Amino acid sequence: MNQATASEAGRPAAVEGCLCWEVQRLLMQMFRLPEPTRQHLRNSRIEFLKAIRSLIDERIAQLSRVETKGTKVAVE
């Protein structure tokens, strides 16, 4: 699917290969999903992205920590 086709489908081209989007699209084509089901699927995609964000935030925090080069020793 090219970028123009993705935009025409009403979704950004960036999510073109997202498995969660593809499964939801198939469900919507096969069944008339009630609004609560649609909302649940949308919320699950949001929660998945939040999980990825938390992993990225943790990695940024790890890389941002200042490592000490050594210890100070008192000399008499």
Distance CA 50, CA 2 (A): 27
pLDDT (0 to 100) of residue 12: 54
Mean per-residue pLDDT of the chain: 78
pLDDT (0 to 100) of residue 76: 82
CB 16 within 8 A of CB 6: yes
SS (H, E, C) 16-64: CCCHHHHHHHHHHHHCCCCHHHHHHHHHHHHHHHHHHHHHHHHHHHHHH
Residue pLDDT, tens place only, 44-64: 889 989 999 999 999 999 999
pLDDT (0 to 100) of residue 72: 82
CA count, 13 A, side-chain hemisphere, 54: 6
Q: Kindly state the DSSP code that residue 11 receives in the 8-state scheme.
A: S
Residue pLDDT, tens place only, 4-36: 444 445 555 555 567 777 887 788 788 888 889
